[in-house]
Amino acid sequence: MALLNILQYPDERLHKVAAPVAEVDGRIKTLVANMFETMYEARGIGLAATQVDVHERVVVMDLTEDKSEPRVFINPVITHKDGETTYEEGCLSVPGIYDTVTRAERVTVEALNENGEKFTLEADGLLAICIQHELDHLMGKVFVEHLSQLKQNRIKTKLKKRQKHNL
C-alpha cells in the first residue's frame, strides 16, 4: 500500500468531474486500499478519489475511531434525499478550515462495493452528511463552495498564503 498526495484547495484538479469506474479490477482495489491508508494517516473520515488526483467515481469512508467500519462506494449515486440539517464540516483538501453547511438529513445511495457488488444504503446523521460531502468531490465541488462568495474568497486567500509559506 502507499500514501497518496491529497490535493489542496484551490487546486483546479479538485474541480474535475469524476468518470464512472468501468470495471472493479485489481487497479481499483489497489486504489481503494491506498485511499484508506491515506485517509487514516490524515485522520479523516472520508476521501474521494478526486482528492488524490484520480478522477474516477470512488469514495472511501470510516466514521469510527477504531477504523472498524470501512465503507467503499464505487460509482455512487444518491437516489433519494429527505429533510434538512446543518453540520460543521471540514475537509482533508481544505486543512484547518471548518464551517457550517446545510445538507439533506437523510439520503439513499446506490453504489458498488470493493468486489463490484451493487448495494443500496439508507443513511442519516453524520453518515448522510459524509456521503453528500464526498459525492460533491466526485462532481468537482468542494464544501467551501456551499458558503458565501465572501467566505470562499477569504478561505482561498488564507490557504494560498499558507501554501506560499510552506514552500
Which residues form the catalytic set? 134
Calculate the CA 151 to chain-centre distance.
21
C-alpha cell at 82: 429527505
3-class SS at 118? strand
Burial of 64 (0-12, 13-18, 19+ CB in 10 A): exposed
Annotated binding site for Fe cation: 91, 133, 137
Q: CB of 108 within 8 A of CB of 132?
A: no
Output the nine-digit C-alpha cell for 49.
478519489
Beta strands, E only, 11-166: 46-48, 58-61, 71-82, 85-91, 94-103, 106-112, 118-124
CB 70 within 8 A of CB 39: no
